[in-house]
Structure 1
């Protein structure tokens, strides 16, 4: 059985998703990177894939979530829509830095993420399952 490491990254921010452009939802704006595996009124489960040296289109994740990675590494750059590279202090980036690299990496809770994009400079595939809680 694979090991897993669970990283708790803090409280979930209270952000009103009604203010966010639906066209920038991850599935709509970055469909090559986000595949819906399951969805109902309470949950959406996404398969997330980002190739080495790939940069996603600008998108957001409007709901709090849990992210389970089976392939991930750093460095990963979190970039604002205006091109500003954010400091390495967001949920996934902090979790990767603390991870021992064994088994799966579980990141929770993840706060809703406003519009931005990820640049994968890790040299390896990023792959995981994101469980979004529509609350």
Structure 2
């Protein structure tokens, strides 16, 4: 099962493509229970994550990030920088942490085209969107 069909909701997305399963080198579980999952997310400069999804809404707290960072569709095309996190990075002044409220994310991957490692903590709320 993939999650590229419009009739699927995030709860129907393929568990094998969950970020922790499909991109374990970039997503480390720090804590998990029935209500939340806390991930440490790391993406080195010039690195690209494998295709994966995030089925739950979350709050993403970046302590290190700079652009350009690109969203890449499963087919390899670069997506426009209109997703919540991409807009937040563009508007961030680099001071303190960047906190972004994130909707569930369908299949895709992120490419870090900057010279700085992306690092943050993502708190996923295990609720239906």
Task: Look up the match of 2:122.
Answer: 130
Structure-2-length-normalised TM-score: 0.91
Q: 2:93 aligns with which of 100, 104, 109?
A: 100
Correspondence list, 1:47-62, <5 A: 47-62=40-55
Task: Look up the match of 1:74.
Answer: 67
Correspondence list, 1:1-135, <5 A: 16-108=9-101, 110-135=102-127
Displacement after TM superposition at 1:16 (Å)? 1.9
SS in 2 for 1:23: helix
Structure-1-length-normalised TM-score: 0.87
Displacement after TM superposition at 1:54 (Å)? 0.3
**Runs of 5+ in structure 1 lacking a partner?**
1-14
**Runs of 5+ in structure 2 lacking a partner?**
1-7
Q: What does the per-residue CA deviation read over 1:26-77, in whole Å, with 9 as the maximum and x for residues that have no partner?
A: 0000000000000000000000000000000000000000000000010011
SS in 2 for 1:41: coil
How many residue pairs end up in the alignment? Answer: 120
